[in-house]
Amino acid sequence: MLNKEIVFLDDYEHAMTRLVSYEDIAQYVSVRVYHAPLKGGDLTEAVSKASVLVLMRDRTPLTVELLDMMPRLELVVFTGTRNAAIDFAALKRRNIPVCHTEWGPSKDSTAELAWAMIMAAHKQIVGQSNLLRSGQWRNSQSLLPVLKGERLGLIGLGEIGGRVAKMGQAFGMEVLTWSPNMTAERAAEKSVRSVSLEELLSSSGVVSLHLVPSADTQGLINSARLKLMRPNAILVNTSRSSLVNTTDLVSALYAGTPGAAALDVFDIEPLPIDHPLRKAPNVLLTPHLGFVAKDVFRQFAKDTHEIISAWLKKQPLPRVLAG
């Protein structure tokens, strides 16, 4: 079967064949791993002979046009449990099965990152570190408030939002929440108070986003809603960039309301070198690290290996999503 190829795309972290050995599979099929993002002709050439295509999350969209360039494709695998960048209808028309991996402790990892970003922005860790690196010591910007008694506003209170709420309560914060389907009863189950979006935005010192994106939440945080926020508030997004109108946020940061933002997700990833967020004031940026944890990627690699092994042995495929 060495005339068949398994192609991994977008393994930025060099994880998929490092955390789990593919030596057993490489005896029977060619295994090619691409670490850098591919576009245009480079992408087409990379996937043109693929029998199995492994997608890291939704980093590269699998469109009908790209599928047309893969006449040998027999199986698609993606990491995680959801992928909005795959044309499932086109795959179904070709009877190509799609399998996914489990997540591992990704929700714990994302909640940890959300709090790392909240603390880094609130305590101005980067700026204070830069003071020392430049030969200085404390200054007037070093006199910072505490979080105890402050309001934490959570837009979304699912598994990740619930974890973030518990951490906020441990700091002595009052936790508020809003989502399109939130009820007072659901909020009370986590000792959180349900309020209107307007109250949450206008009264919270920290606003953290934890919604699953939908058509109704596209651009939820726009210019009008950003103006509701306090000038000393922090907006944190470790969820999805589509929840925030990025152009409006950049303008709001220059205007000083909110006072700061901490962002892990972006409309275009990797973030272009000339993107205005890179130069915006009072913004902390991380390269989509929410789910990027060794334990999570080990789960991705293990499950992908399991799926491909079953495909090689013509056994029933685990976690088939379509096809």
Label residues 259-277 b or e (16+ Cβ within 10 Å = b).
Answer: bbbbbbbbeebebeeebeb
| Residue 240 known to be catalytic | yes
Long-range pairs for 38-45: beta carbons < 8 A, 24 or more residues apart: 38/9, 38/10, 43/9, 44/69
Q: Which region holds residue 266: left if phi is over 0, alpha if psi is between -120 and 50, else beta?
A: beta
Question: What phi and psi values does residue 31 have, to the nearest 5 degrees?
Answer: -120, 120
Q: Name the active-site residue from 199, 269, 298, 319.
A: 269
| Residue 72 known to be catalytic | no
Collapse the DSSP code of 166 into the 3-class scheme (helix H, G, I; strand E, B; otherwise coil) and give the result.
helix
CB-count burial class (<10 Å; 0-12, 13-18, 19+) for 311: buried
| Residue 269 known to be catalytic | yes
Of 56, 42, 62, 61, nearest to 12 (Cα)?
Answer: 56
Of 85, 56, 73, nearest to 6 (Cα)?
Answer: 73
| Chain position carrying tokens 């008694």 | 149
Catalytic residue IDs: 240, 269, 288
